[in-house]
Amino acid sequence: VDKIKAFSVGGEDYITKPLQIEELLARVENKMTIKKQKQKMKEENTQLKQEISERQQTEEELKLLHRAIDACQNGIMITDSTQTDNPIVYVNQGFETLTGYSKAEVMGKNPRFLHKNHPAQTALTEVSTALQEQRKCNVVLQNTRKNSTRWWNQLSISPVPDTTGTLTHYIGVQTDITQRQEVELALRLSEEKFARAFSTSPASMMICTLREGQLLDVNNSFCSLSGYKREELLSQSTIDLRIWVDSKERDRITKTLTLKGKVTNQEVNFRTKSGKIVTTLLSAEVIYIDREACVVAVGEDITDRKQMEKAMSIANQELERLASIDDLTTVANRRQFDRYLRQQWQVLKREQLPLTLIMCDIDYFKTYNDTYGHLEGDYCLRQVAQAIKRSVKRPADLVARYGGEEFAVILPNTTTEGGIHVAKIIQQQVRLLEIIHNSSDVSRYVTLSMGVASIVPNQQFSRELLILAADRGLYKAKTQGKNMIVRNDILY
């Protein structure tokens, strides 16, 4: 009864009297054994829970890895290296997308079917060697999709050993670099074309840094034009070589290139090795080499053309001068008179300043020719023309042969009184010539009759009326006795 009560209130064991040592020791030993077993079971249970947790975590990681591999855009395949032909044992969805083959179509096959249309690639030798040596390799291969289209595959192969270090599998990662390869190919072809064009171009070409002008490359035409050898130019600065004749011109072009990125058809002067100055038609554009702003420049030597243009300009000016000069007297001709009067009329009309015209005629010139002959008549005309020319001092004044023995003097910004003053000087200069004229009724020397008229140009009158007024003054001088100056104020 006592034992039952003891167990009912939670007792685990009991000891009865009289106390026996053997029983006590047996019971203590039994108690310790049970306690140890419980502790061991607890520890084993904890370890089991940890193993289960770790296994669940590993399974989750494997599932995540599998999902990640399937979600990867790269093609991933695994081959079994323990079998003779390295058959494919796994491919992801990225592989199916890249190649066009389904997993079922490729399982158990060797991956070489992917490049069967391109069997002579040198990269395949690298793959074969890497497999034999059981090492990693990275190659670029031309592959063919299921639909027969070609694509460039950047393939990375890695050996996969087991826990003992024994090789069991290979994993291959595929990346489609078709677009990059095509761009690189186009760029390479472009660079090759540029290099050929650069070296063979008849135009002078150079590449230099934008800031310092350090020469990076020059072509044969540039060397021929500059007189330098290629090795003398490379790594030198255009500033140090003193190629630029005008440093301000270089600064201006550099500023334009910095702001706009290019210049087109700029005439610039360069100094050659011998010191000769050449004129070139320069076009340049900014490019970047290793992130540094550089300039590719093309220059056409136009030195001969510029010299020819200059010579032609001088020749044209001389022709223009000759076209405006009277052959006999070397003063302005009638064509130049009309042009200059028209020009000054517009200027003085705008400025509202007076314009004076003197019309001159040699008295009794017909009888002079009849008496002394035409050669002497020509001499007389030349002498009189030069005397009139000496009488006018200002650059804006014009002396012209109006026709026959008649001359005209245009005096811009001159009043009638100023015109009369000039006419008197002309009269005096002709008298000083003392050209004998025995057939004259007014003097034993050649004399002039002159008409002077002046006007402030305006919309109401025309320049023809000014000529008419001066000509009427001349007519009055002729009819009133010759060798005189008549002022005609009809328009003034």
Catalytically active residues are 405
Whole-number Å distance between alpha carbons of 75 and 69: 9
In three-state secondary structure terms, 43 is helix
Burial of 222 (0-12, 13-18, 19+ CB in 10 A): buried
CB 324 within 8 A of CB 401: no
Burial of 2 (0-12, 13-18, 19+ CB in 10 A): exposed
How far does the chain reach from its first CA to its final CA, in angstroms? 167
> In Å, how far are 227, 269, 289 from 253, measured between CA atoms?
23, 12, 20
Long-range contacts of the stretch 162-168 (C-beta < 8 A, 24+): 167/81, 167/134, 168/80, 168/81, 168/82
Nearest alpha carbon to residue 449 among 331, 364, 357, 381: 364
Neighbours of 206 (CB within 10 A): 24
Task: For residue 436, give both structure tokens.
Answer: 């004998």
Whole-number Å distance between alpha carbons of 449 and 363: 6
Strands 485-487 and 448-455, bridge-based pairing: parallel
Residue 79 sits at φ, ψ, to 5 deg, of -115, 155
Whole-number Å distance between alpha carbons of 391 and 395: 12
